[in-house]
Structure 1
Amino acid sequence: MSSADVAVPTTAELERDARRVSSEHERVGPGEIALGVIIGRTSEFFDFFVFGIGCVLVFPQLVFPFTDRLTGTLYSFLLFALAFVVRPLGSVIFMAIDRKHGRMAKLTIALFLLGFSTAAVAFQPGYEVIGYWAIVVIALCRIGQGLALGGAWDGLSSLLALYVPEDRRGWYAMLPQLGAPFGFILASCLFAFFKASLSDADFLSWGWRYPFFVAMTINVVALFARLRIVATQEFAELFASRELQPKPVAEVVRATGGTILIGAFVPLASYALFHLVTIFPISWISLFTQRSVPEFLMVQAAGAVVCAGAIMTSGLIADQIGRRNLLAIAAVLIGLFSLCSIAAPLLFGDSLAGQTIYVILGFGLLGLSYGQAAGALASHFGTAYRYTGSALTADLAWLIGAGFAPLVALTVSSELGLAWVGVYLLSGAICTLAALALNRNLQFHR
């Protein structure tokens, strides 16, 4: 069967099928909402991690062959940051679509744009074929990813936090966060397989493209899983009863601008650590060590499993001691971790065992802090502004904390040494503790 014989479902068909399934099973419980959120977040993070790994293993040679590999990787990390820069714009555009055409239309357009932007990279021509236009093409794909991620905010996490018993909110708040380690495991394993199975020439010619092809399929599955919930009448009634409706961005900023700003700094320790254990270490291993990249990717996949376990643990702990206390403890632990990185930077740089310990421990701390990050963002707002306010706060937090982290980390480590990566991470931990001190409203129910 040729590719032309395979019919790709249209957005209208997906919405129709979702409504049909929903009409046959109207009741939507917390477990189903959580499953839809996890699937959706996994697809989003898979798309981003595939691009991030490509920034290290592919784009320096494909798009920036006219410079050395270190500079090419730094240029690639600038492309990586583009999505975080335009993500707030995506939220503004898609909130308008939500108000005018509804949440189903918004999600359908956003997730198709996300999948298409990622899959389109698979057809990326190299610099040797179209010259500097190769940079323009891949930048447009990355901008598409960022706009789409802003539009992919569906409010399911906020609904979940309000829909479950108060003494289980920490547990349910962590469920959407599982999408990050799941997405990374899938992306890293795919790249590890093709990198290990093919020659360097074949990998750079065509092998790297397959993980990007997978993105469209994953996004279609994720879209249907989310539409399955959004299409139900009960879901619409729950959103209406909880007042989780999109508000004009200007109105939300005027009413809650200070809350958005402070809230963006609350998860900074977690978001700074996010790419310092995922994307940045791959660049350091690839550029400055002799360690096998596929083997290191599998170590990171194991670390992501630890991260998933730590995320689940964060839910249990938050329900016992409160989310604010857990976030403060995690920030202190990340600060101590950063101090160890400052004191013994060569442990990560030269030792295989040290590199592995750094990755596993870093992923564990990431899970403990990141598990409650989304709930912390949403909790700042009353129900009237929670839907839009949470989206804008998340956009700003990712931009400040994670968007430029690989670029900054690789720049300072290559120029000044690995110890400065620890300094960068320590600054994130300090910002989190300061934001928690400023905002006492983060004292949650147990």
Structure 2
Amino acid sequence: MNGYNQVEQTLNDILRAINPSKEDWTIRFHIINEVRDVIRSIESLRGGTVEPYGSFVSNLFTKWGDLDISIELPNGSYISSPGKKHKQTLLADVIKALRKKGGFRRLQFISNARVPIVKFEGNFNISCDLSVNNLSGQMKSKILFWISGIDNRFRDLVLLVKEWAKTHHINDSKSGTLNSYCLSLLVLFHFQTLEPAILPPLIEIYPGNMTDDLTGVRAVAEKNIEDTCAVNIKKIRSDRSRSINWSSLSELFLSFLAKFSDICSRASTQGINPYMGHVEDINTNMRWLPRTYALFVEDPFEQPANTARTVSSNQLIKIAEAIQVTHQMLASPNQNQASLFSVLVGPHLSWLGRRTSVSTSTIQSMSTTPISRNIPIIRNGIKTRPERKQPPLQTLHKSQNKVMDKPQNGESNGSKHASTSQKQQVWRPRSEPKAEKNSSGE
């Protein structure tokens, strides 16, 4: 087996193991319903709704992924904007109610964070973050969910990169490394800057600052954003002039590592802009000045917020070293599966590395969500993509890297992508997956 095939098989084995099962979805729905029961008992939050956001909504979470929950305050049909102090007061009431209810572990109130949160641990050691009025977080998550429908390889690589980052202890904003949202944006930027591109600059999906548009009547504001994204994504997917990128998962992972291997040296002068799909010189971008961050990855939905604002200079060196070590290992001609597993997954998946030949059927039994191999195929002379089984919530609703330089003459990095005929789906949170209703009794 040659090096690329070895890496490809290893990545697919890992992806099967980390994909969430129906039980993983059900556990998270159960936690959400438990929180709803608690919120109903709090007088200051009567009429509020409990709504998930983050990787659970974007479907970019692994079996062990955290759960983000927002309490949306009642304000008629309008979007409310409570101040930080009011949020702190409400969350103080929440943590008291959680303690009184019981069954929630490791309760912690982080009141002075940019977004105040209550952290706790739910069933099966699922870590949860509870915030107040995080509608922008919900919409960001939904847009990432819609974007992943353009090409399944985006979700696959995000899951693999998250697992790899946790293995190297560089996926923790509290310790000065990368948060999961930033990692997802780095993968998205990678897909934008391949040749040919797999995903477009996000200005082509939502040409505006999304968080600024979340005002007025909530239903109207959300629908305007959903409709804009739906129209543009449909246009992107139906454009048959877009060149198709045929890269395999292993090629995409290796090129991702290669692209960011010099992240330390470049971060001092350049920032990453997924909205436009290219890097920019920090000194020429007035929105990013003065330069006060070790790394700048702009939030395309909340410009000019920096999703890497917690990354420290020392930890940036650690991030770069992890990237370089992993790239060297994966590109080595002397690799073996055990060494690949050791650099790609953590102790909870160490059993994978102890086996010279991993049984696909054994790993598949761990997850009901199959790996999505979205490599284009040709059928009757027409380039198409394989059909994809929808995970529970979705029923609701050899290329080289481009050099990471600024586009010339105002052109944006990112070529057109092949089309599919699927319609845009709107994500709608539900209290339980349809397939689980009868068995769970919820």
User: In proportion to residue count, which structure has more strand?
Assistant: 2
User: In proportion to residue count, which structure has more helix?
Assistant: 1
